[in-house]
């Protein structure tokens, strides 16, 4: 059967070749980037802050922390992002979220598994409110978490954390206003799934951290041993977000 399907697949790939996830140019395989888009991506990794994983310009030691973490240590165990937010990373996130290009969840996951913490027990996507899911048709964070789970073998649960309050768009709000907007917006539905586990909270883009912080508080209160944020892209300069 496979031998009969091979020519059909070859014809389909000739007529509809794989496209760069960033710009749409033809590439050799699915979930790949062209040379230009690949070169423009800034992949994140050590050396970085031991508290929040913000990248350092040079290695300051394994336990070095940035000024923000020294002044106000985060409750989460770090923000692990595959890439820095930029033109290509932004295009990919928007085409997934608003363009319905759900296959890009796999594209993101292939890069995100590189920075996933080794002690991860459970992947939990940042939830959307039910009205947002009904209008969009899917939760992009849940799609990404599922793809990361398939590639890493770590279990994922898209229902253990629920958004119980509709929240406004956070773009343009001050830090205090963002925190207030998401206060009380999340609830754990099954504490038994959380207690004692190293939870990895999955999202597409990490901006101010208000949503992640609200989710982290709820997960830790439910008994999680730790909560690490895992995302496709991290905004290192909020003024760059439009």
On whether the CB atoms of residues 210 and 181 are closer than 8 A, the answer is yes
pLDDT tens-digit series, residues 148-183: 999 999 999 999 999 988 765 656 555 666 666 677
Dist. CA 176–CA 205, nearest whole Å: 20
The DSSP annotation for 90-113 comes to HHHHHHHHTT--TTHHHHHHHHHG
Identify the CATH number of the domain defined by range 42-240: 3.40.50
- Sorted by where each begins, the domain ranges of the chain are 1-40, 42-240
Residue 144, C-beta contacts closer than 8 angstroms, at least 6 positions apart: 105, 108, 109, 112, 125, 202, 203, 204, 232
What percent of the chain is predicted at pLDDT more than 90? 69
| pLDDT of residue 8 exceeding 80 | no
pLDDT tens-digit series, residues 63-121: 999 999 999 999 999 999 999 999 999 999 999 999 889 999 999 999 999 999 999 99
Residue 178, C-beta contacts closer than 8 angstroms, at least 6 positions apart: 170, 208, 210, 211
Tokens linked to 127: 């939830």
Beta pairing partners, 156: 123
What percent of the chain is predicted at pLDDT more than 70? 85
């Amino acid at each position: 059967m496979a031998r009969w399907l091979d020519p059909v697949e070859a014809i389909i790939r000739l007529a509809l070749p794989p496209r760069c996830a960033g710009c749409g140019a033809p590439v050799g395989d699915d979930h790949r980037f062209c040379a230009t888009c690949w070169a423009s991506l800034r992949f994140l990794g050590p050396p970085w802050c031991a508290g929040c994983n913000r990248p350092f310009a040079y290695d300051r030691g394994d336990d070095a922390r940035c000024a923000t973490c020294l002044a106000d240590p985060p409750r989460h165990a770090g923000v692990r992002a595959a890439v820095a937010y930029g033109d290509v990373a932004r295009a990919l996130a928007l085409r997934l979220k608003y363009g319905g290009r759900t296959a890009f969840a796999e594209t993101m996951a292939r890069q995100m598994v590189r920075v996933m913490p080794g002690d991860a027990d459970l992947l939990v996507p940042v939830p959307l409110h039910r009205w947002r899911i009904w209008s969009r048709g899917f939760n992009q964070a849940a799609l990404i978490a599922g793809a990361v789970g398939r590639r890493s073998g770590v279990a994922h649960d898209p229902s253990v954390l629920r958004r119980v309050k509709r929240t406004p768009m956070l773009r343009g709000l001050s830090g205090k206003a963002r925190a207030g907007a998401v206060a009380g917006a999340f609830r754990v539905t099954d504490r038994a799934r959380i207690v004692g586990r190293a939870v990895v909270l999955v999202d597409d883009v990490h901006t101010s951290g208000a949503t992640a912080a609200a989710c982290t508080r709820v997960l830790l209160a439910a008994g999680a041993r730790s909560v690490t944020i895992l995302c496709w892209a991290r905004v290192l300069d909020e003024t760059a977000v439009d």
